[in-house]
């Protein structure tokens, strides 16, 4: 109970005015130079950081047959909206984790999601750019459904085709409600959505911090400058701590 009181006294109470403050802080952090991001490694573990309880959660094993990774709103995953990252990784299977922040009255929020490439601790971060040659899509992706995901480009194509086929067969349907929601129960903020048992293709989906927005991803490099992880920052923390701070 004491821990709960401590957390409540340092967090804003939830209402329309404070939510506007949170969104303003998020926007200020998002538009700052990429060199001004937080030190992500601090938040990639279970414990108390910036007076917020964090838990590191394993959420799925991503199949990566092509080595090309897509990070996107799963409902905007087609190629006309989303481009894979320019940096490729070796084909294989990689664990995906989220850092879940317990923000009291603000609920539990996914602060970061990352694909772990090596066990080594990342000590340097580089903005992950995509194959888009110009415009915003080269450095970030937008979310309009409160969800983000990681997928191999092969899986992205299959998922996109599945969504289009669903709406052609069920024009009054809702893919989230009718297909995805059983995999995303109210008490969980992520799912490992299998597309094809034969190929093993899947999409690992997770909620995005405080919801819709525009988010950047970063490559974490180890002490030997090797890729250790690919992380998406959902702007739950800025350089002063959580953006829901009082």
Per-residue pLDDT tens digits for 109-154:
999 999 999 999 999 999 999 998 776 778 888 899 899 999 999 9
Rounded average pLDDT over 30-43: 85
Q: Does the pLDDT value for residue 35 go beyond 50?
A: yes
**Under 8 Å between Cβ of 155 and 203:** yes
Question: What's the CA gap between 14 and 236, in Å, rounded?
Answer: 15
Which helix (H) or strand (E) element contains residue 221? strand 217-221
Query: Residue 31: which pLDDT band, with cuts at 50, 70 and 90?
Result: confident
Enter the tokens of residue 118: 């090596």
Q: Does the pLDDT value for residue 159 go beyond 50?
A: yes
Please return the burial class of 90, using the count of CB atoms within 10 Å of its CB with bins 0-12, 13-18 and 19+.
exposed
Rounded average pLDDT over 8-31: 87
By residue count, the chain amounts to 246
pLDDT value at residue 80:
75
Which helix (H) or strand (E) element contains residue 83? none
**Under 8 Å between Cβ of 190 and 147:** no
pLDDT value at residue 33:
64
Compare 77 and 204 and report the one with higher pLDDT. 204
User: Could you give the angle at the alpha carbon of 107 between the alpha carbons of 215 and 17, nearest 5°?
Assistant: 75
Rounded average pLDDT over 172-187: 88
Question: Whose CA is closest to 146, among 75, 56, 53?
Answer: 75
pLDDT value at residue 57:
96
pLDDT value at residue 30:
87
Rounded average pLDDT over 23-37: 84
pLDDT value at residue 8:
41
Question: What's the CA gap between 10 and 203, in Å, rounded?
Answer: 36
* Lookup result for tokens 């539990």: 108
Q: Is 36 helix (H, G, I), strand (E, B) or coil?
A: helix
Range in 75-79, 124-128, 204-208 the model is least confident about: 75-79
Rounded average pLDDT over 65-86: 90
Question: Whose CA is closest to 138, among 188, 83, 180?
Answer: 83
Q: Does the pLDDT value for residue 242 go beyond 90?
A: yes
CA distances from 28 to 68, 154, 237 (A): 31, 35, 12
Rounded average pLDDT over 191-203: 92
């Amino acid at each position: 109970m004491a821990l709960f009181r401590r957390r409540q006294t340092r967090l804003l109470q939830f209402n329309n005015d404070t939510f506007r403050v949170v969104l303003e802080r998020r926007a200020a952090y998002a538009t700052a130079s990429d060199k001004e991001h937080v030190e992500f490694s601090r938040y990639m573990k279970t414990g108390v950081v910036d007076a917020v309880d964090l838990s590191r959660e394993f959420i799925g094993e991503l199949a990566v047959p092509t080595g090309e990774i897509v990070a996107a709103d799963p409902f905007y995953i087609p190629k006309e909206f989303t481009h894979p990252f320019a940096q490729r990784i070796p084909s294989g299977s990689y664990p995906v984790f989220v850092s879940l922040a317990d923000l009291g009255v603000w609920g539990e929020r996914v602060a970061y999601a990352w694909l772990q490439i090596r066990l080594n601790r990342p000590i340097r971060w580089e903005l992950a750019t995509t194959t888009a040659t110009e415009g915003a899509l080269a450095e970030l992706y937008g979310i309009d459904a409160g969800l983000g995901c990681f997928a191999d480009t092969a899986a992205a194509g299959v998922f996109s085709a599945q969504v289009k086929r669903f709406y052609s067969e069920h024009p009054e349907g809702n893919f989230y409600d009718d297909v995805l929601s059983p995999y995303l129960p109210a008490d969980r903020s992520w799912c490992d959505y299998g597309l094809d048992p034969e190929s093993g293709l899947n999409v690992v989906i997770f909620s995005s911090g405080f919801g819709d927005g525009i988010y950047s991803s970063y490559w974490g490099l180890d002490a030997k400058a090797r890729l250790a992880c690919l992380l998406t920052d959902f702007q739950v923390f800025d350089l002063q701590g959580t953006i829901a701070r009082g």
